[in-house]
Amino acid sequence: MANLSSSTIAEILIANIKALWNESPFCGGEVKYAVDDSGEPDVKVAAANVPLDYDLWDGLRNPAGVGLHPAGLQDIWEFYAWRTASRYLDGSGQETIFEVPRSFDYARGRFKRVLIVSVMLPFEGKLLKAHDSFIREHKRGASWQFSRFYEQVNGCLDKAILRTGMALSSAENVVLAMDRKTMDELSREAIPKVRQRDAHGPQKEVHFPQKSIAVLTGLAQFGVSRFVFRDELRAGRVRRFLGPIRSLVIFDGEVPVVNGSLGIIYPHQRWRDFLFSLSDFTITDREINRHRFCSYIPLMDKGCGKCIPSCPPEALIRSVPDMAGRYSEDLHERKRFWKDQLQFDYERCRSDRKKMATLFPEWRCGRCVTVCAAEGKRRRSAVENYEKKKRTLAIK
């Protein structure tokens, strides 16, 4: 599909989301995702394109970050090629007994770029506010209503990204839709076992980090809690969007866009360097901090940090620097650092949820995400500064 744009992809996603919500298990029930002023799904789409030799994870391989062995473009291609391998043809065009996947060298010869599309389907704001009220009233406990709409929106986006991938597939391209199942299978099939699980990094089970892709494409930013969200200016006010993230990876014959046309950015090295600094909350320099949606590090007034005390197992307080960008001596003593990066205490977070889920299958926490969405401090100037910086660094 020539001249593929982020707006075209968004239109296909919107149509698929609306259709899915009228099917089982949703069956036209109350919409649980955010809608825009016209009542359409307020889906967020950002796209970046790169040549096939581009290293998505340059400078990020760290067991305390994206892991030591995240899936690169070659891994993704080989996963596709393995799944679609056909009988090898000899010089006369006859099939042989060999079933050989197309090599990455073949892909480099056929395609000129990879288009990486990050998608968020935000949760409906009123539902997040209702869950925030529940949190205020219950210091412990979980809301089945929150669990239900969380799974429904996730399930809807999973199917929508698959249907969108189907719609975008053509004879001229190769499309992979990175839903939850495909991510798991990519990790199992394309990554050697010696590079999985703890060899990849503590708690790093998935090799295609969707949140990092969202940040790379400019869709969202990391908060100090290490979840991602998006702030936008709407009618002069800052609106915050949080929801599941999925991706599309498209190999095609188009020349990489470097000027921001069609809503597609090019992640130049200066853009990457800026994002590394933006996501590192030990860096408190005003020049970086003024671009952050997360207002944990103070600017002129007090910082936010409302997500931190909302965490029942105290995983956050054991995983973030103070507002001056310093980690406590106690955290250093726990040996959770790798090349100056601290491994988030996922074990404390996940263990608590998993234990409670053995008693209550619908148990889901989500307190830090909810508090950020409902009560987190917004910075209008940060939205303006960030968009300006993106135009400067990711679009020439």
Contacts of 378 (CB under 8 A, 6+ apart): 231, 238, 240, 293, 295
Is residue 358 over pLDDT 90? yes
Domains in the chain, number? 1
Rounded-to-integer distance, Cα 188 and Cα 178, Å: 14
Answer whether residue 211 is part of any domain: yes
Residue 282, in any domain of the structure: yes
Helix or strand or coil: residue 121? coil
Q: Does any domain span residue 147?
A: yes
pTM score: 0.93
Burial of 13 (0-12, 13-18, 19+ CB in 10 A): buried
127-133: long-range contacts at Cβ-Cβ below 8 A with a sequence spacing of 24 or more? 127/32, 128/242, 128/370, 128/373, 128/374, 129/374, 131/366, 131/370, 131/374, 132/370, 132/371, 132/373, 132/374, 132/375
pLDDT attached to residue 186: 95
Asked if residue 1 is part of any domain, the answer here is no
Structural domain of 70 = 6-393
Averaged confidence pLDDT in the chain: 92
- Is 106's pLDDT higher than 90? yes
Neighbours of 103 (CB within 10 A): 13
Confidence bin at 92 (pLDDT 50/70/90): low
Write out the two tokens for 374: 């409902």
Res. 4: pLDDT tops 80? yes
pLDDT grade, residue 159 (50/70/90)?
very high
pLDDT at res. 139:
87
Query: In this prediction, what percent of the chain has a pLDDT beyond 90?
Result: 76
Domain presence at residue 106: yes
Q: Using 50, 70 and 90 to split pLDDT, how confident is the model at 95?
A: low
In this structure, of 208-217, 236-245, 349-358, the range with the lowest mean pLDDT score is 349-358
pLDDT value, residue 352 = 86
Q: pLDDT tens digits for 39-51? A: 999 999 999 999 9
